[in-house]
Amino acid sequence: MMPVEMSYLVASSALFAVMILVQALFRISSNSVGFLLGPRDGMKDKTPQCERARRANNNMIEAMIMFIPLIVAAAYLDRFNSVTALGATMFFWGRVAFAPLYWFGVPVLRTVAWTVAVLGLALIFSQLVPPGLDF
């Protein structure tokens, strides 16, 4: 059976794939298919949703750059426990909420969702700090 943290790592990768698809769909709705089939030189996002989807995806890249090594390190060091499971859960569901809140320009709640995900990362990190090393 796969540890919950690894399950959320896989699920987060799937979520990112969905986010990329959503960005593509927003772009298709605001650009001609012919333009999108070409080299896309000079392409600009023409709608706020296109621009938000691009920014949400860039933010997801930043988040995954932190989440992946934390999960891999916790697995390698055999540090999975209830705290890392909670952290992975918070990260994933925070990111699930964050994406559509960002796409549709919902203020405050988007930041709350982002904060939940970041706190999840902090929980995982807290289980990797060497004993006796206080931050």
Look at residues 134, 119, 106 and name the one whose alpha carbon lies nearest to residue 48.
106
Q: Please name the residue ranges forming H helices in 3-47.
A: 4-30, 33-37
* Whether the model pTM is above 0.85: yes
- pLDDT (tens digit per residue) in 95-133: 999 999 999 999 999 999 999 999 999 999 999 998 776
Quick check: 94 and 110 in contact, CB under 8 A? no
Using CB atoms within 10 A of its CB, is residue 113 exposed (0-12), middle (13-18) or buried (19+)? buried
Give 31-82 pLDDT, tens digit per residue. 666 666 667 676 676 789 989 999 999 999 999 999 999 999 999 999 999 9
Domains of the chain (ranges plus CATH)? 4-38+45-126 (1.20.120.550)
- 92/103 Cα distance (integer angstroms): 17
